[in-house]
Amino acid sequence: MSTQLAIAIALAVLLAVALWGPYLWKEIRRGKANIGNTPAGTGDTHPGTRFDPAPGQPDAQADPYDARAQRNAPPVKS
């Protein structure tokens, strides 16, 4: 039983290497992509920070705990 399992795992690894190998080789050789006029550097090509993940874009959803979002709603009863 364990011999069959070992052969199956080895076959799966060989198949993965055979199928992913050429694609990964091509992607690694191509390198980092340039976006617009900005050169490819060591940072991420997507601008933004943890506190502003999409600079220049409107917020996707308002803060539900904001005072404006409450709109004088009655208190929630559990």
Give residue-wise pLDDT tens across range 25-49.
888 887 766 666 666 655 555 667 7
C-alpha 60/C-alpha 11 separation (Å) is: 46
* Euclidean distance between CA atoms 16 and 59, whole angstroms: 41
Q: Is the pTM of this model over 0.75?
A: no
Alpha-carbon gap, residue 32 to 49, rounded angstroms: 20
Q: Tokens for 64, please give them.
A: 């539900």
Per the prediction, the chain carries an average pLDDT of 77
Helices (H), the chain: 2-30, 67-70
